[in-house]
Structure 1
Amino acid sequence: MEPKYSSNPDENLQAAEYVEKPESQLKAMWETLRQNKAAVAGLFIIGILAIIALTVWLSELMGKQILPYDPNYADMTKSFIKPNAQHWFGTDQLGRDMFSRILDGTKISLFVGVTAVAISLTIGVIFGAIAGYRGGKTDTVIMRLMDMMLAIPSILLAIAFMAALGKGLDKAIIAIGLVSIPEYARIVRGSILSVKENDYVHAAKIMGNKTSRIIYKHILPNVISVIVVRATLGVSTAVLDTAALGFLGLGVQPPFAEWGDMLGRARGFIFSAPYTLIFPGIAITITVLAFNLLGDGLRDALDPKSRIK
């Protein structure tokens, strides 16, 4: 995209600085992100969580046990053992090692979060792009549907979807993915409305490009930063929704370890064994905080105006 020059030399200089090669933009983004200590901390935590999740998942595929204990093995003779050298986070009401279950739950929370965001992002981008580019009745119909979904609290809508779909991991992914579609649709639509009247879009139309090519080749790349930031923050929301559904007994079903389900089943022992709630709660908090910190950092790093001095 060519910059629009003005009679003001200072503005022209800023415009010239703004037009960078993709490699330069990526490098500048990384430099800005690296200077944000909070974002780096979030990225570091997410990296650790991803390594844990992948390691646990791969070990299960190979039939090996790398966790200190089998996270699903119940031994009633070891119920409610307080945190010690053998069981760092103690054991739950069924005698299962809490530390192993927290680590095992990492793969479920991240998998549900990332997969649900992928579903909502894909569908939301398509709807938002069509509504923003087409306008008119198409825009009205799509956005009124999105408004109807946004009028209902996301957790209540997710519960409604779960009631229709049933319980289970795959159902939870679909439900959480569906409730987030309106947010991405509105963001993409608003971003497209702000850029679709630019000269390079009109030039693409004159050259005979198809609508789909104009949207995905010329428009979406210019709003990708907004989408990336929202998707990063969306993972944290999906993790919270997963925990909420698990807490209500509608999400991932036993014996699989899921942080929300662990909280829900331990709420009756808040006074006798508070550690059974504290550690899953800390895991959820750290994960959500990490994605929020990274999302905030990406928002600043991907804003070109922040790099124009």
Structure 2
Amino acid sequence: METNHDLKSEENLLQAAEYVEKPESQLKAMWETLRQNKAAVVGLIIIAILAIIAVTVWVSELMGKQILPYDPNYSDMSKGFVWPNSQHWFGTDQLGRDMFSRILDGAKISLFVGITAVAISLSVGVILGAIAGYRGGKTDTIIMRFMDIMLAIPSILLAIAFMAALGKGLDKAIIAIGLVSIPEYARIVRGNILSVKENDYVHAAKIIGNKTSRIIYKHILPNVISVIVVRATLGISTAVLDTAALGFLGLGVQPPFAEWGDMLGRARGFIFSAPYTLIFPGVAITITVLAFNLLGDGLRDALDPKSRIK
């Protein structure tokens, strides 16, 4: 009789925990906190503008239409190194290509690589971190020692090594950048799961016979999702930087496609004769990275329950 009573208590505890810990129940409070953070709102607005530009350019290309002022890949050598003016707002590069059109077109590639690479690292890192944190023992040791080895190598050097093995190109850059960020997500998820898995509702889930996979994905991961969201947002800014670094070294997106890092790399020889060819891509990278960092910091405050206690 006592056993049945205890079991019912555990079930009630589990149901209550599910209700309290649901991420959607925190959305309203999170948005109110985020909205009061002016820096985060600015970052969100910039990201929204960049996303609209990227999606619009991408859709127009699929439809075979040109919405940019000029074809970003069209070269007119007679107009090489034209300084910014009313016709070419950001000037032209050494091949006579319109810099303003190339900057807008580059937003599509930078955001695509950043978001896709984070999606790869997030998917793999969350799975590995969840397994390591929940299983523990030898499984935890093996997974985390391998992650430690990857973390011991600077991410950009590791990305270059992957690019050397995989080859040049957009798809290779996505894979390389995604792989180097896996250890960060794995360690974050593992650390949070080690504390969350000791909660009463997790023990209750075990008692009533839930499978390990269900416990992890239904009762544990939803309660560490805030940390994952913040890190993923900040991770996109890192991925954008890594994309630009690989492009600067000539290992990322290959010509004639417009990519901010590649534009910087090809313009570095004209820093004195045509400095605007470096300034505008550099500003685009800086603004994008800053926007994601501002939003990430705002999300960290908004998703932290302590920040909402008055």
What is the identity, as a one-letter code, of the residue corresponding to 1:207? I
Question: Structure 2 CA distance, aligned partners of 1:232 and 1:202?
Answer: 32
What's 1:34 paired with?
A: 35
**1:282 and 2:283 matched:** yes
**1:302 and 2:296 matched:** no
What's 1:262 paired with?
A: 263
Question: Structure 1 CA distance, aligned partners of 2:304 and 2:226?
Answer: 8
CA gap of 1:23–1:108, structure 2 versus 1, over 3 A, is closer
Question: Structure 2 CA distance, aligned partners of 1:306 and 1:272?
Answer: 51
What is the identity, as a one-letter code, of the residue corresponding to 1:304? P
What's 1:8 paired with?
A: none
What's 2:253 paired with?
A: 252
Question: Structure 2 CA distance, aligned partners of 1:266 and 1:283?
Answer: 15
Question: Structure 1 CA distance, aligned partners of 2:237 and 2:208?
Answer: 42
What is the identity, as a one-letter code, of the residue corresponding to 1:75? D
The Cα shift of 1:307 comes to 1.0
What's 1:93 paired with?
A: 94
Given that 2:21 and 2:223 are in contact with CA atoms closer than 8 Å, whether structure 1 keeps it comes out as: no
**1:212 and 2:213 matched:** yes
The Cα shift of 1:21 comes to 7.3
What is the identity, as a one-letter code, of the residue corresponding to 1:160? A
What is the identity, as a one-letter code, of the residue corresponding to 1:138? T
Given that 2:23 and 2:222 are in contact with CA atoms closer than 8 Å, whether structure 1 keeps it comes out as: no
Instruction: List aligned pairs for 1:174-253, cutoff 5 A.
Output: 174-253=175-254
Question: Structure 2 CA distance, aligned partners of 1:226 and 1:272?
Answer: 46
CA gap of 1:182–1:2, structure 2 versus 1, over 3 A, is farther
Question: Structure 1 CA distance, aligned partners of 2:295 and 2:165?
Answer: 34
What's 1:11 paired with?
A: none
The Cα shift of 1:20 comes to 8.1
Give percent identity, aligned residues only.
91
Given that 2:23 and 2:223 are in contact with CA atoms closer than 8 Å, whether structure 1 keeps it comes out as: no
What's 1:70 paired with?
A: 71
The Cα shift of 1:308 comes to 1.5
What is the identity, as a one-letter code, of the residue corresponding to 2:191? G
Question: Structure 1 CA distance, aligned partners of 2:21 and 2:165?
Answer: 50
What is the identity, as a one-letter code, of the residue corresponding to 1:98? M
What's 1:54 paired with?
A: 55
The Cα shift of 1:24 comes to 4.8
The Cα shift of 1:26 comes to 1.0
The Cα shift of 1:2 comes to 8.7
What's 2:16 paired with?
A: none
Q: Deviations over 1:34-69 (max 9, x none)?
A: 000000000000000000000000000000000000
CA gap of 1:149–1:83, structure 2 versus 1, over 3 A, is same
SS of residue matched to 1:91: coil
Q: Deviations over 1:261-295 (max 9, x none)?
A: 00000000000000000000000000000000000
What is the identity, as a one-letter code, of the residue corresponding to 2:190? R
Question: Structure 1 CA distance, aligned partners of 2:101 and 2:265?
Answer: 18
CA gap of 1:22–1:245, structure 2 versus 1, over 3 A, is closer
Which ranges of structure 1 fall in alignment gaps of 5 or more residues?
4-18
SS of residue matched to 1:250: coil
CA gap of 1:21–1:234, structure 2 versus 1, over 3 A, is closer
CA gap of 1:141–1:225, structure 2 versus 1, over 3 A, is same
**1:171 and 2:188 matched:** no
Q: Deviations over 1:3-34 (max 9, x none)?
A: 9xxxxxxxxxxxxxxx5876552111100000
CA gap of 1:242–1:22, structure 2 versus 1, over 3 A, is closer
Question: Structure 2 CA distance, aligned partners of 1:46 and 1:98?
Answer: 21
Question: Structure 1 CA distance, aligned partners of 2:23 and 2:203?
Answer: 23
The Cα shift of 1:192 comes to 0.1
SS of residue matched to 2:105: helix
Scaled by the length of structure 2, what TM-score is found? Answer: 0.93
Question: Structure 1 CA distance, aligned partners of 2:90 and 2:154?
Answer: 34
Question: Structure 2 CA distance, aligned partners of 1:2 and 1:99?
Answer: 60
What's 1:111 paired with?
A: 112
Which ranges of 4 or more aligned residues in structure 1 deviate by more than 6 Å? none
Given that 2:148 and 2:183 are in contact with CA atoms closer than 8 Å, whether structure 1 keeps it comes out as: yes
Scaled by the length of structure 1, what TM-score is found? Answer: 0.93
What's 1:127 paired with?
A: 128
CA gap of 1:219–1:20, structure 2 versus 1, over 3 A, is closer
CA RMSD across the alignment? 1.5
